Amino acid sequence: MARKPAEKQTKTKPTTTVIAVGNQKGGVGKTTTAVNLAAALGTMGKRSLIIDLDANCGATRSFGIPPESYLGSFEVMLGEEDPVSVAIETDAEEGIELPEGVALITANRNLEIVDSELIKKHRLVDYRDCLRKPIETLRASGRWDYIFLDTAPNIHTPTAAAYRVAEWFILTATPDRLAIDGLNDAMSDIDTVRRYNNPDLKLLGVVLSRVSRNTKLAGEVINWVEEAFKDAGIYGDFRIRISSTTEVPKAQRDGLTILQTRPSHKVALEYKKLAREFLKRLRQSEQPAKKSSKPKQAA
């Protein structure tokens, strides 16, 4: 009896989602959100790459890595290094212990002069597109499910470049009035970039962290965020609030995340819930979109 020919297997091309994380004010949980969300996704079998684009090297230091020890985002943006090659992972010999499923492209202080270096190198092209080719290369490698762009609290070239290549933007805030100003500024920047450079950039949501629910200020900020983003539908503020705890900065001082040091801690579990909501929003985004209103500006 003749054997039936085997059906042709169709391989689905791996996809990588690019998410910028930021706020136009510093100290509002931007880096903490990026590294702990990536770590939480790692516990679910997802692979994430964090690209540190801040000259203060927040993500790099959070993982206990001296900023000057590796080639990183500065060299990648200048086109001097292959982004896949400079991505570092857990390496016992090097003393690097990253969360499961997480890789990092480090930052260093050279990012302070990246604007002038890019202008010299790319005089005839728009140097703010310096992340476009690296991101294409990283996506083509198929090694990561998510790329998180950890941006600086300013609109210098690395931040502008992140806005241009990201598909999604996660805004971060803490119960602080300055954080609200930062949200307004960032939303304005997202609208500008969407209009002129990256029409595909979308808001994925707002993450509120370091929340102490028993303070009046926290309640006011939460109420404002809920009101301002209620018309954004599923892309408003994330339902999960990240509580305030000393365990997060304690873990960062040890170059680790709370998912590594205290996996059963209340805040570690909140980051896991945030990761599940993150995945749910991305799945929902693949369904036919409903029109949503633009978030309101703070008074």
- The 10s digit of each residue's pLDDT in 38-58 is 999 999 999 999 999 999 999
Residue 289 inside a domain? The answer is no
- pLDDT of residue 10 exceeding 70: no
- The 10s digit of each residue's pLDDT in 157-207 is 999 999 999 999 999 988 887 777 778 888 888 899 999 999 999 999 999
Per the CB < 8 A criterion, the answer to whether 64 and 74 are in contact is no
Question: Can you tell me the distance from the alpha carbon of 71 to that of 88, in angstroms, rounded to the nearest whole number?
Answer: 10
Instruction: For residue 231, name the pLDDT band (cuts at 50, 70, 90).
Output: confident
- pTM of this prediction? 0.89
Please provide the average confidence, as pLDDT, over all residues in the chain.
88
Q: How many angstroms separate the most distant Cα atoms in the chain?
A: 79
Structural domains of the chain, count: 1
- Looking at residue 8, what is its pLDDT? 45
- Looking at residue 288, what is its pLDDT? 63
Percent over 90 (pLDDT), the chain: 64
Residue 131 inside a domain? The answer is yes
Lowest mean pLDDT among 20-24, 100-104, 249-253, 263-267: 20-24
Residue 254 inside a domain? The answer is yes
Residue 197 inside a domain? The answer is yes
- The 10s digit of each residue's pLDDT in 108-142 is 999 999 999 998 887 656 888 999 999 999 999 99
CATH number of the domain enclosing 190: 3.40.50.300
Residue 296 inside a domain? The answer is no
- pLDDT of residue 14 exceeding 80: no
Residue 291 inside a domain? The answer is no
Tokens representing 258 are 């709370």
What DSSP string describes 122-163? -TTS-GGGTTHHHHHHHHHHT--SEEEEE--SS-SHHHHHHH
- pLDDT of residue 299 exceeding 50: no
- Looking at residue 159, what is its pLDDT? 93
User: Pick from 205, 201, 203: which is nearest to 193 by CA?
Assistant: 201
DSSP designation for 293: P
Burial of 285 (0-12, 13-18, 19+ CB in 10 A): middle
Instruction: For residue 4, name the pLDDT band (cuts at 50, 70, 90).
Output: very low
Instruction: For residue 228, name the pLDDT band (cuts at 50, 70, 90).
Output: confident
What is the DSSP pairing of strand 17-22 with strand 202-208? unpaired
Of 2 and 19, the structure prediction assigns the larger pLDDT to 19
- The 10s digit of each residue's pLDDT in 64-109 is 999 989 999 999 999 999 999 999 999 988 889 999 999 999 999 9
Question: Can you tell me the distance from the alpha carbon of 136 to that of 165, in angstroms, rounded to the nearest whole number?
Answer: 9
Tokens representing 281 are 């929003």
Per the CB < 8 A criterion, the answer to whether 34 and 132 are in contact is no
- Looking at residue 289, what is its pLDDT? 52
Sheet holding 168-173, edge to edge: 102-105, 48-52, 146-150, 17-22, 168-173, 202-208
Q: 183 is in which domain, residue-wise?
A: 17-282
- Looking at residue 3, what is its pLDDT? 40
Residue 1 inside a domain? The answer is no
Residue 4 inside a domain? The answer is no
